[in-house]
Amino acid sequence: NHKIDIKTDGKKIYEIHLEDSFENLMDSMEFLDLPGRKVCIVTESNVAPIYLQEIYKRISPKAAKVVTFSFTAGEANKQLATIEKIYEQLIRNHFDRKDLLVALGGGVVGDMTGFAAATYLRGIDFIQIPTTLLAQVDSSIGGKTGVDFLQYKNMVGAFHQPKLVYINTAALKSLPEREYFSGMGEVIKHGLIKDSGYYQWIKDHKKEIKDRDEQILREMIYRSCLIKGGVVERDPKEQGERALLNFGHTLGHAIEKLKEFQWLHGECVGVGCQLAAMISAGRGEISQDDVKDIKDTFKEFDLWKPVGEIDPEEVVQTTKSDKKMEGNHVKFILLHQIGEAFIDRSVTEEEMRHALEQ
Ligand code: NAD
Ligand code: ZN
């Protein structure tokens, strides 16, 4: 079983534990000194029936007190109203500064639990137990927390690092295929922006990945966590390199919003990566063969959507309301080559339209 240290300024701030069961959860949580702390396990309606009881049973003998909070699954509930209900549960149970939140679920649970932990009494500890592929390779790492507000995604939030990320790869067995493939959008992205060898490995193991082969899954999640962990460690507050993780997200977020979240996040990111690759090729950075290769790889995991259904003009206009917008220019991530990305602020509306119309 693997461990990855996440450091800031050379000092370890937390560990990612990669496991294939929940058996070692309490060993991993030992350092948290639970006998003196209350714990609130935050989860949602799809995850609770499958995993809540097991987690509750493991933690409750070790902690001062354990309570749970479960909300209705779905991005639509990633909002302040749910956060208020978490606060109420904490207040009702007299949670104070030394107590702990546990996020059990996908990115929606993780982002909200993290935000509640960041703001309750000006900040209490929390840990992540991610149960989707997207959460295991992406959202549970790096300390970005928050909720959607009005129609804006992640508009309100805080940086707040977890004390531990405990990944049980076996929890992915119950994940619906569409959600699993959605997570592959971020996985392929990791290869494209940082590691051509990893990208090639994904292509070479696509069958095992689709079959969720235990060994391959572990290697894949480990490699993606190393990439994501490395980036956020070098640039925790997104002043530079961390922006590369937004590859595929400028157009992806716009499409996600226009489709009113009927297309999953990773699906939109997959489409956005392919469009960004086309723009990169239009500038002579990568070849048309690279673009075809990239499209084929995403398609293996059903990460292509009929973008033709959406008006290109609307997409272009929507990118302008993205909070990654700086001055008059949208912040874009392009590829110099497969495995190497760069930040660019000069992508024109015409280039975006051209890619969307292809
Ligand atoms: P999600 O949390 O909605 O989970 C996807 C679906 O899978 C839900 O229906 C959920 O109930 C279900 N589910 C979760 N675990 C399951 C399991 N083990 N078995 C069966 N069903 C399960 O979505 P997600 O894709 O995990 O995360 C998307 C969210 O993450 C978005 O809100 C996005 O903004 C956020 N995000 C945050 C960051 C970050 O850095 N904080 C990064 C990327 C994405
Ligand atoms: Zn993403």
* β-pair partners for 5: 15
Beta-strand ranges (E) seen in the chain are: 2-8, 11-19, 38-44, 65-71, 100-105, 125-130, 144-149, 152-159, 164-168, 332-337, 340-344
93-131 exposure pattern, b = at least 16 Cβ within 10 A, e = fewer: eebeeebbbbbbbbbbbbbbbbbbbbbbeeebbbbbbbb
Residue 326, token pair as written in the block: 């700086």
Residue nearest to atom 28 of ligand 1 (CA): 107
Contact 52, 46 (CB under 8 A): no
pTM of the model: 0.96
Q: ipTM score here?
A: 0.99
Low-confidence ranges of the chain (pLDDT < 50): none
Contact 182, 353 (CB under 8 A): no
Q: Which ligand is nearest to the CA of 252?
A: 2
Contact 278, 358 (CB under 8 A): yes
18, 17, 15, 23: which is closest to 220 by C-alpha?
Answer: 18
Going from the Cα of 354 to the center of ligand 1, the distance in angstroms, rounded, reads 32
Q: Is 108 marked as binding a ligand?
A: yes
Please state the atom number of ligand 1 nearest to the C-alpha of residue 111: 41
Query: Who lines ligand 1 at CB under 6 A?
Result: 44, 46-47, 50, 73, 75, 78, 105-109, 111, 131-132, 134-135, 138-139, 142, 144, 153-154, 171, 174-175, 179, 182, 265
Going from the Cα of 133 to the center of ligand 1, the distance in angstroms, rounded, reads 8
Q: What confidence score (pLDDT) does residue 1 get?
A: 67
Q: Is 131 marked as binding a ligand?
A: yes
* β-pair partners for 165: 16, 128
Q: Which amino acid is at 241?
A: E
Q: What confidence score (pLDDT) does residue 301 get?
A: 97
Dihedral (C-alpha) 108, 111, 117, 118: value to the nearest 10 degrees? -150
d(CA 98, CA 2): 28
Mutate which of 129, 256, 265 for ligand 1? The one with the most ligand atoms within 8 Å of its CB, which is 265
> Which SS3 state, helix, strand or coil, does residue 300 take?
helix
CA 101 to chain CA centroid, Å, is: 19
Q: What confidence score (pLDDT) does residue 315 get?
A: 94
At residue 139's C-alpha, the angle toward residues 203 and 187, to 5°, is: 5
How many CA atoms does the CB half-sphere of 299 hold within 13 Å?
7
Q: What is the DSSP string of 76-96?
A: GG-SHHHHHHHHHHHHHTT--
Please state the atom number of ligand 1 nearest to the C-alpha of residue 109: 2
Q: Is 186 marked as binding a ligand?
A: yes
CB atoms within 10 A of CB 76: 12
Q: What confidence score (pLDDT) does residue 309 get?
A: 82
- Dihedral pair phi/psi, residue 203, rounded to 5°: -65, -40
Going from the Cα of 40 to the center of ligand 2, the distance in angstroms, rounded, reads 27
Name every residue whose Cβ is closer than 8 Å to that of residue 335 and which is 6 or more positions away in sequence: 192, 193, 247, 276, 277, 280, 285, 286, 290, 341, 342
- Dihedral pair phi/psi, residue 70, rounded to 5°: -125, 135
Q: What is the pLDDT of residues 119-131, one digit of tens each?
A: 999 999 999 999 9
Q: Is 229 marked as binding a ligand?
A: no
Residue nearest to atom 18 of ligand 1 (CA): 131
Q: What confidence score (pLDDT) does residue 324 get?
A: 55
Mutate which of 83, 104, 139 for ligand 1? The one with the most ligand atoms within 8 Å of its CB, which is 139
Q: What confidence score (pLDDT) does residue 329 get?
A: 78
Residue 19, token pair as written in the block: 């496991």
Please state the atom number of ligand 1 nearest to the C-alpha of residue 264: 25
Please state the atom number of ligand 1 nearest to the C-alpha of residue 135: 26
Going from the Cα of 138 to the center of ligand 2, the distance in angstroms, rounded, reads 7
224, 236, 253: which is closest to 325 by C-alpha?
Answer: 253
Going from the Cα of 105 to the center of ligand 1, the distance in angstroms, rounded, reads 7
Q: What confidence score (pLDDT) does residue 204 get?
A: 98
Q: Which ligand is nearest to the CA of 133?
A: 1
